[in-house]
Structure 1
Amino acid sequence: MKTTVETQAGPASHVRDVVVVAILLVLALWGLDDSFATREYLVVGGVAGGSALVTAAMVAGNGKGTEVFLLIAPVVYVLVGSMVAMRGDQPIGLPTPDAVAGLLAGTITAPGDFLTTIPPVDAGGGVMVLPFAIGCVSAGASGWMALRTRRAVAPLTPMLGALVLSILLGTADPGRLELRSIAFAGVALWWISVRATRSEGIENGHRGQVVRAAVTSLLVGAIAVGLAALGLTNQGTDRAADTEPERSVLRGHVGSGTDVSGADNPLADFRRYNPRPAVLGQDVFAETLLRVKGLPAGTRLRFVTLDEYDGSTWSAGNRTVPGADDALFQRIGSEIDPQRRGKEVTVNVEVTKAYGSNWLPLAGELTSLSFDYSDGQAQREDVRYNLATDAAYVSGGVGARDDYTFTAVLPRDTLRPNARAFEVDGPLQPRGEFLDLFLFAWFKSDMSPMERVRSVARYLHKNGRYSDGVLPSERRYAAGHDQQRLGFDFVAADQIVGNDEQYAAAMALLANRLMVPARVVVGAVVPKGGRVEGKDVRAWVEVRVADGSWRTLDTSTFMSRKPPKRTDEEVERPTEHLIEEGENPDLEEPGEGTTTGQGRGKSDGATTEPPDGDLRSTLSFFLPLLGLVPWTIPLAKWVRRRRRRATGRGAWSSPWVGGWREVVDTARDLGTTVPATMTRVMQAEHLGEGQSLARDADSAIYARAPHPELDPDRFWEGVDDVRSALRHAAPRLRRLFAPFNPASLRGRR
């Protein structure tokens, strides 16, 4: 005789459920740890979750229904949120109209503001609504289901949502996410097991106990595997030597960055920094632009990075670095995590009226920024920083009394002689295609992409001349760097003449066409004493090497400082230059030039992949396969159905016994409780379907011997009709979940 022990949920069980929800909430919110500057977000999210759990416990304890909880919960959200998430610098705020309005607006805007701010984000302001909302909604929903239902898995669903959301909102750096996910999975595993035992009871001596234990283990194991897999990283496309494998997150995929198309362009206006007669306009050649303290003499101070060529000008923009999700002009907080190692510096910059630009001069990789005067035109809230280009844009511009202090790291930016180019699939900057004819000899050479770039640099330096177009005899050398100026008026001219603008613009464009990513930087070389004048402003070129970092191509390798010749003399042809360097380009098949160049470019940029022996890469391959585990449940049901319907197995009445069990199991999978102590007819009346089918089953099962009128196939047609009617009457969500519900595999109750 079987003995069934039902475990009832008492106060101790409710307390345990509330405590587990609180623990799971902390573990879920912990996924945002690398995104915030302090752990104040954890306090805000915890208070939100605690208030939601208290509300759920009070409503459930008074016997009220879900509709009452749904009416009270929003009121608690607004009151507590306005005091905690919108408190500003105070220990606790007041639910003033402004605070309530800010909370409601932040509920919608906080995710976008959070994802478009470079982490770590300051734990203050409207972004704190994000952890508050996650904590309040997930803990409230999970706590209410835990207190008001006996389902084992359902209360975990909101917590899983909170965990997934915190991972997607986090940073690409995995940190200790694997350990947090495993801890979450362990607590979830224990909680589901306890609730399953409490709600289902233990059937002593019943063979279904084994099936129930196996199925529960499979289900919980699948959840644990899925949670652990969320913590695993994906191999990113960044080949930087100092970077770690990254994971896919929303950051970098939400928002398009601040539009900087209206900003001034120091490269296009480069002659402003050169001496020129009054008739040509005012210059700042001898005027002081900046006073810099804290940077060694000779350090490059970056004004702007220009990495997009449209046929007329080089300009700055968003998403201009292929494969870099952080190539956006975004908000900054009080600090920024550096991406590479280098010397740490603290720099103070005094800005004069003569500078006047939208671009904030910086050096290296920015780690923090503060403006010295709170009443200045520019403040940190106006700054948008691009991690991929190290350029900072100020929406209102930078001028006098906008002095500022920043900290940064100065990574090594020297281009080594044996450096290889970053691997790309083909020539870059399509608007620079007009230079391909000039580069034809290099495309046909046997050199690697980086060797070609160095060779072109030597060609420009050897055959070029430098002029600002100031002298009357040199005014024909116009400013600008459009296709005409860089093509027929520069590399294809009788004399290659220009200043920093033309040399840097052309060199960067030529490198891109040779399959070496390159960009133009306008800035200044800090002189001794730190007083930066207009004459110190320079333009240079940075190229991307195999490890993903950007290195400075020494200006002296491609920019000539010799004055123009009095008479135009025919410059050396590219083919002659290559032959002089020992190369013998094959020019007999011009149609294959670009293809040859692309082929060599791939081999030059190839990097040796790290061995696959580390645990992370192994797990990231195998764990997703374990996501198939939940599909074993519908497979087991399909096998069971085939066995029940088969004739010739066991007693002759087995198809009728199995057919009715199939009806009952379908109802259980749809969430309907069917007591096993009822007769088949009573079960049919309880379900509201299949009364005649139940009587047919009883007639066949209790018959002394089979007779011709008992047709198992016809009976199973009736089984399918009843099952279809049960599914049709069930809610859509239950119909979708029924194939994966292990309830019918746990044995009869």
Structure 2
Amino acid sequence: MIAPAPRALWRQAVDAAVIVALGTLVTLTFGPVFGGFRYLIAGLGGTALGVGVAIATTRGPLRGWLMTVAGVMLVYVVFGCALAVPSQTIWGFVPTAGGLQELLLGTVFSWKGLLTAEPPAEGFPSLLVVPFLTLLVSTAAGAALALGPRRVAPFGIAPPALALAVAISFGTADEPYSLLTGVGFGLVALGWLSWRAHERRAGRRADARVGTYLEKTESGGRRRIFEAVAMLAVAGVAGTAVGHFATPDVRQVLRDDVQPPISLADYPSPLSGFRQWHKTYTDESLVTVSGMPEDARLRLATLDTYTGQVMGFASESDESGSGAFALVGEEIHSEQSGEAVDVDVRIDAYQGIWTPTVGYSTSIDFEGDRAPGLQSQLHYNGNTGTAVTMPGLQPGDEYSLSASVPRAPQIEQLRGAAVSEIALPQPASVPAQLQSWVQTHGTTQTSTLDNILHMQQQLQGGAFSHGLESDPLPSLAGHSVYRIADMVAEENMIGDDEQYAVVFALALRTLGVPARVVMGMYPDGGFTSSSVSLTGSDVHAWVEVPFEGHGWVPFDATPPEDNTEINLDPPPKPQPQPRVLQPPQPPNPPQDEAPDAAFDDGDAVEDDAEELTGWMLWLSIGALALGVLLLLASPFIVIALLKRRRRKRRMRAPDMRDRLSGGWHELVDTAVDFGAVVPAGATRREVASELHERYPQSDVLQMGDIVDRGVFDADEPDQADVRAFWEDVAKTAGGMHASSSRRERLRAALSLQSFRLRARERRSRG
């Protein structure tokens, strides 16, 4: 037997180049979620290494799938740090113990990290493992298949296609080049598959020498090439047009359905510990900042949900999303406009997860020994401009941030501007006393802005007190519904930023004006110097209201701190209102809460149950659909398995004569399934003659003689000769497939004629 000639090197080079091209397109698909250029190094490096491993393990002494797997693991460890974790290397390419640890852990944890990270994700430690590992494995598997035997080569497209699906699923809804990469991938894949199919048909003609049917198609070779090119062009144009007009308004990706790693609705509201900062750190420096604009404010937390006990954060399912924080890297994507500033922050006595920011951050870069841990656990909410780092800030920590700070408009600039319609969670409870107060002071003006300013003026006429021992007026802490009801029921209000900000926000919400409370720090005179130390007395709370064209505008409702007398210019008494019964006092009035005090999210269990029900429903539908498909396909699967089992039984017969005759039976059965007629009781030579008439250029006559000699010869056939005979059987059967149409091949695969033939033979012998 003559072994088939190896494929030309230029053909193998084309196969490898196609896999490289597909890997490049997959790499580009990761671009929007990563940004920058490092993902290109990781993805293209993984592509080159994967194809290199495949080339090395599909020839010579290293040939075999086990060697391919071993090669992928080796290059992943050797080159992974330099390409996927460059920050954990020496000189940019020498791996370190920490880098290897991050690389290996990244194979498991980087996938979820990428889904929960806020794009651009380039600055995240170990997230580049996703494109590097995806391209390394997919191109190694794809190239190994493409460079392997002809029958498996077309499957080389499958691994890169799966990698493209991964890149799309782990990407973003905003993909500017999706049409280009998708159409390009399809054209390259279809073109290569057509070329390999043509090459495979030519190879079968040469191997099986059953070319009577195929020779008729030789003259149409050029015509088929022209038709293939035309088909690819039409497919590209049609795909582009359909993709342009049929693209959904919102692209769905996995990150849309994956919950962020933390939800601040499960954490205590920092406003509940507002007075602790004034009580404990009145004259002690909390943070030192430099580079702040004069009228800017340092933001700690943005709160828009009132539970009746505290002003806190919405859950991630609410439209406002004030409690949904996403993992971010050194760079933060922001679409907010404003003055670009660079601010340096040093933590003095301040402690907590709330990271002081200004405006809308575009980057936060930690420094010092704790920088890696703080940076890797930095979370940001782009809707509110708030950041948290889960290890928590400690004295001595430092970081620099770049931000876009919107300039606060003057009141005159707001006249004529409409209040933006932004959906915020409805308060769980609003005291009747506050609703009555709003009816008196919030509905008497001609415009929404005038009502806002009038209520602000009324609140600023109240008395100020932190309730400390040094304050002349007593004032309870907290901002529960009972504390707010008591405050507005008095003729003169008494409180500090905590109470006045909550009263103002709830009053505005009663009028349908979206308002949120912000807690932060700023000096009373503004940031007048390059470096400012902020103490506990500089901790404030204020209210923000959104206006069209201006964004969220701050309003201060707290009276001046020197308003410490309850009879300071009292506002005019309102018109008598119907008496409203005050709600009963709680059994345990709320006490001062520590900054880290927690509160319950009563909807968490219900949300989890709804989510579980949804997943179970989709899983049930998927399982039902899969079961129906398997049921419909079961007859075809059974026939294919029976033929496979019969072929293996013949190939593995213990006696070499039986194994040789089994090969002949396999060839005859293949021909019968393709429609050949074998007379009952015919000898092997007669059967060979019938098959030769159907396939005149085949070697079926010689093969019949070989079987006769092997079966009736005194010496048992050699095992190597039997193996070579089975290879000839496979080639001749392949020629039968190649000389048949698709319909004939499908009919042969499902035919039971060969089983009926063997059943007749068994009955005749019996």
TM-score, normalising length: structure 1:
0.64
8 Å Cα contact 2:57/2:68 also seen in 1: no
Q: Is structure 2 residue 70 aligned with structure 1 residue 75?
A: yes
> Residues 496-575 of structure 1: matches in 2 within 5 Å?
496-525=493-522, 526-529=526-529, 530-545=532-547, 550-555=551-556, 565-566=566-567, 571-572=573-574
> Residues 150-169 of structure 1: matches in 2 within 5 Å?
154-169=155-170
AA in 1 matched with 2:195: V
Q: Is structure 2 residue 270 aligned with structure 1 residue 249?
A: no
How many angstroms apart in 1 are the aligned matches of 2:241 and 2:6?
30
Q: Residue 356 and residue 210 in structure 1: after superposition, are their counterparts in 2 closer, same or farther (change >3 A)?
A: closer
8 Å Cα contact 1:542/1:553 also seen in 2: yes
Per the TM alignment, residue 19 of structure 1 is displaced from its structure 2 partner at its CA by 0.5
8 Å Cα contact 2:320/2:425 also seen in 1: no
Per the TM alignment, residue 141 of structure 1 is displaced from its structure 2 partner at its CA by 2.6
AA in 1 matched with 2:299: R
The structure richer in helix per residue is 2
Describe the SS at the equivalent of 2:25.
helix
> Residues 636-651 of structure 1: matches in 2 within 5 Å?
none
Per the TM alignment, residue 453 of structure 1 is displaced from its structure 2 partner at its CA by 7.4
Residues 202-232 of structure 1 deviation map (CA, whole Å, 9 limit, x = unaligned): 9356799789948993898289828984999
Instruction: Determine what percentage of the aligned residue pairs are the same residue.
Output: 25
Which residue is equivalent to 2:302?
305
Q: Residue 544 and residue 230 in structure 1: after superposition, are their counterparts in 2 closer, same or farther (change >3 A)?
A: farther
8 Å Cα contact 1:327/1:388 also seen in 2: no
Residues 522-544 of structure 1 deviation map (CA, whole Å, 9 limit, x = unaligned): 11234322343333332112234
Q: Residue 161 and residue 512 in structure 1: after superposition, are their counterparts in 2 closer, same or farther (change >3 A)?
A: farther
AA in 2 matched with 1:249: V
Which residue is equivalent to 1:362?
357
Which residue is equivalent to 1:638?
none
How many angstroms apart in 1 are the aligned matches of 2:328 and 2:451?
40
Which residue is equivalent to 2:486?
489
AA in 1 matched with 2:541: A
Q: Residue 311 and residue 344 in structure 1: after superposition, are their counterparts in 2 closer, same or farther (change >3 A)?
A: same
> Residues 366-445 of structure 1: matches in 2 within 5 Å?
366-374=361-369, 379-412=374-407, 414=409, 416-423=414-421, 428-432=425-429, 438=435
Q: Is structure 2 residue 22 aligned with structure 1 residue 24?
A: yes
Residues 317-357 of structure 1 deviation map (CA, whole Å, 9 limit, x = unaligned): 66276176x9633433222233223221111223322x333
When structure 1 is superposed on structure 2, of 213-222 and 475-484 the one drifting more is 213-222
Which residue is equivalent to 1:217?
231
How many angstroms apart in 2 are the aligned matches of 1:59 and 1:79?
13
> Residues 63-462 of structure 1: matches in 2 within 5 Å?
68-69=64-65, 71-87=66-82, 88-90=88-90, 102-122=102-122, 125-148=125-148, 149=150, 154-200=155-201, 203=217, 213=227, 217=231, 221=235, 225=239, 229=243, 235=249, 247-251=251-255, 253-258=257-262, 260=264, 265-272=269-276, 274=278, 282-316=279-313, 319=316, 322=319, 328-353=324-349, 355-374=350-369, 379-412=374-407, 414=409, 416-423=414-421, 428-432=425-429, 438=435, 452=448, 455=451, 458-459=454-455, 461-462=457-458
Per the TM alignment, residue 363 of structure 1 is displaced from its structure 2 partner at its CA by 0.7
8 Å Cα contact 1:684/1:690 also seen in 2: no
8 Å Cα contact 2:122/2:128 also seen in 1: no
8 Å Cα contact 1:82/1:96 also seen in 2: no
Per the TM alignment, residue 235 of structure 1 is displaced from its structure 2 partner at its CA by 4.4
How many angstroms apart in 2 are the aligned matches of 1:536 and 1:508?
21
How many angstroms apart in 1 are the aligned matches of 2:346 and 2:58?
63
AA in 2 matched with 1:349: V
8 Å Cα contact 2:674/2:747 also seen in 1: no
Per the TM alignment, residue 180 of structure 1 is displaced from its structure 2 partner at its CA by 3.7
Which residue is equivalent to 1:707?
none
Describe the SS at the equivalent of 1:392.
strand
Q: Residue 51 and residue 570 in structure 1: after superposition, are their counterparts in 2 closer, same or farther (change >3 A)?
A: same
AA in 1 matched with 2:254: L
AA in 1 matched with 2:487: F
Which residue is equivalent to 1:588?
none
Q: Is structure 2 residue 670 aligned with structure 1 residue 686?
A: yes
How many angstroms apart in 2 are the aligned matches of 1:689 and 1:385?
66
Which residue is equivalent to 1:737?
none
When structure 1 is superposed on structure 2, of 106-115 and 685-694 the one drifting more is 685-694
How many angstroms apart in 1 are the aligned matches of 2:576 and 2:25?
63
AA in 2 matched with 1:462: Q
Which residue is equivalent to 1:467?
464
> Residues 37-48 of structure 1: matches in 2 within 5 Å?
38-48=36-46
How many angstroms apart in 2 are the aligned matches of 1:724 and 1:436?
83
8 Å Cα contact 1:83/1:93 also seen in 2: no
Describe the SS at the equivalent of 1:336.
coil
How many angstroms apart in 2 are the aligned matches of 1:691 and 1:407?
76
How many angstroms apart in 2 are the aligned matches of 1:141 and 1:436?
71
Which residue is equivalent to 2:696?
none
Residues 697-726 of structure 1 deviation map (CA, whole Å, 9 limit, x = unaligned): x9xxxxxxxxxxxxxxxxxxxxx9x97994
Q: Residue 306 and residue 687 in structure 1: after superposition, are their counterparts in 2 closer, same or farther (change >3 A)?
A: farther
Residues 17-64 of structure 1 deviation map (CA, whole Å, 9 limit, x = unaligned): 110110110111112223335433323333333333233334433599
How many angstroms apart in 1 are the aligned matches of 2:124 and 2:394?
29
Q: Residue 553 and residue 436 in structure 1: after superposition, are their counterparts in 2 closer, same or farther (change >3 A)?
A: farther
Q: Residue 509 and residue 158 in structure 1: after superposition, are their counterparts in 2 closer, same or farther (change >3 A)?
A: farther
Residues 361-415 of structure 1 deviation map (CA, whole Å, 9 limit, x = unaligned): 1111222223443368984335332222221223343343223322212134548
How many angstroms apart in 1 are the aligned matches of 2:394 and 2:553?
28
8 Å Cα contact 1:504/1:539 also seen in 2: yes
How many angstroms apart in 2 are the aligned matches of 1:475 and 1:557?
15
How many angstroms apart in 2 are the aligned matches of 1:454 and 1:146?
73
8 Å Cα contact 1:364/1:409 also seen in 2: yes
Per the TM alignment, residue 480 of structure 1 is displaced from its structure 2 partner at its CA by 1.1
AA in 1 matched with 2:670: H
Computing the radius of gyration from Cα coordinates, the structure with the larger value is: 2
Q: Residue 383 and residue 129 in structure 1: after superposition, are their counterparts in 2 closer, same or farther (change >3 A)?
A: closer
How many angstroms apart in 1 are the aligned matches of 2:553 and 2:19?
53
Which residue is equivalent to 1:54?
52
How many angstroms apart in 1 are the aligned matches of 2:161 and 2:228?
23
How many angstroms apart in 1 are the aligned matches of 2:302 and 2:363?
19
How many angstroms apart in 2 are the aligned matches of 1:226 and 1:152?
28
Q: Residue 724 and residue 176 in structure 1: after superposition, are their counterparts in 2 closer, same or farther (change >3 A)?
A: closer
Per the TM alignment, residue 122 of structure 1 is displaced from its structure 2 partner at its CA by 3.9
How many angstroms apart in 1 are the aligned matches of 2:399 and 2:178?
36
Residues 255-298 of structure 1 deviation map (CA, whole Å, 9 limit, x = unaligned): 43335568664422223455xxxxxxx44334433332111222
Q: Residue 48 and residue 570 in structure 1: after superposition, are their counterparts in 2 closer, same or farther (change >3 A)?
A: same
Provide the aligned C-alpha RMSD in A. 5.1
Q: Residue 187 and residue 495 in structure 1: after superposition, are their counterparts in 2 closer, same or farther (change >3 A)?
A: same
* Structure 2: gaps spanning 5 or more residues: 83-87, 203-213, 579-635, 645-664, 680-689, 691-742, 753-766
Describe the SS at the equivalent of 1:363.
coil
Aligned length: 576
How many angstroms apart in 2 are the aligned matches of 1:340 and 1:446?
33
When structure 1 is superposed on structure 2, of 554-563 and 383-392 the one drifting more is 554-563
